[in-house]
Structures are given as structure tokens and as C-alpha cells.
Amino acid sequence: MDLLSMRESYLHDRIMLCFNGPISRSLIEEIGKALRNYLDTQQAAPSAAMDVFAVYIEMTQNIRHYARRQGYDDELAAATVAVARSDQGHYQVSAGNLVEQADGERLVAAVEALSLLDKPALKQAYKQQLRRPRDAETPSGAGLGLIDMARKSSRPLHASLQPLSNQRSFFSLTATI
């Protein structure tokens, strides 16, 4: 395994922290703790650090919820998570996972719809979603979490879908704080 080239590519992409593999509840907490500590040592503004942490939590918990609903095994439930610093000093939080093609298409459409909303419209959408009954979640779930991430981002969320085999695709989402 060429660790040096991995390291160089992380440095090149300004990746502060990344993870690839099956993600458990305790891993989410531990990586989250490391992320908070790291942001603290970087003297990130408290509100930016809070937003990065919040987006990281929503993304990883969405992946866990989805994998559980689908009954995916550990291999299918693997998540790829990266937190990076952009060259303009923004933080970028990205996460990707396997999804059923149709769910992925719904998610991309939902992200694109949110990108058309300004902050007041996002707030309104958030409050509407919050008031929907617990069991009336959208088929792909993730409704409130996506809106929350969009509200905490300084740019529209970016989603992409890469088709793989067996009607599955790799869904990836990036939030820029």
C-alpha cells in the first residue's frame, strides 16, 4: 500500500480528517470528538467549528439511518467521510455512501431543490419539515438533516451520483461552511 501517495493526496486536497469503512455509532462520536479537538487547536471560530461538527453529525447519521433501513451489511454500509479546508479558508465536509439508484436520484433532486432557496426560504422549509409527523418521513429520509446542512453552509450543497453495479450508486454530498 502506498501510504506516502495517500498522504500526499490528502495534503494536496487539504484534508484535515478522513475515514473510510463501516461506521458505527461510537465511531461517529469518536471521530466527532477528534474533529472538535482539531478545530479547537486550529482556532476555528466557535460558530464555524459548531457548524462543521453539526454537518458532520447529520451526514454520518443519515448514512447510518439509511443503511439500517435498507438492511445493508457492514460492507454495503461503509461510509467515506472527509473534512477539508478549502483554499479560500472555508471548511468542506463531504460524505459518500452506497445507495439504491432511485433513492440516489431522489436525494440529488432534493439537494438541487434546496440550492434554489435563500436563507429565509430555507428557514421556512426547516420549520415546515420539523412540524411534519414523525412517521411521515420522505422515502429517502434525510429531510430535516439536509435542510439543516444547507442552512449552515455558505454555498449551496453539492450532490453527485455515480452509478455502480446492481442498481446501486455512490452518492456523495459536500457542504461548504
In the shown chain, the binding pattern of residues 124 to 143 toward another protein, with x for contact by CB under 8 A and - for none, equals ---x--xx--x---------
Please, which of residues 148-167 interact with another protein by CB under 8 A?
Answer: 148
Strand ranges across the sheet with 78-85: 15-22, 78-85, 91-100, 168-176, 158-163
**Alpha-helix residue ranges (DSSP H) falling in 13-131:** 25-41, 46-70, 101-114, 119-130
Q: Dihedral sign, CA of 159, 76, 148, 83?
A: negative
Which among 14-22, 55-63, 91-99, 110-118 is the span making contact with another protein, rule CB under 8 A? 55-63
User: CA 47 to CA 51: how far, in whole Å?
Assistant: 6
Minimum Å gap between C-beta 163 and another protein is 29
Minimum Å gap between C-beta 64 and another protein is 6
Of 28 and 108, CB closest to another protein = 28
Of 47 and 86, CB closest to another protein = 47
- Write the CB contacts of 90 (distance below 8 Å, at least 6 apart in sequence): 154, 155, 176, 177
The reply on whether position 61 binds another protein by CB under 8 A is yes
Minimum Å gap between C-beta 48 and another protein is 10
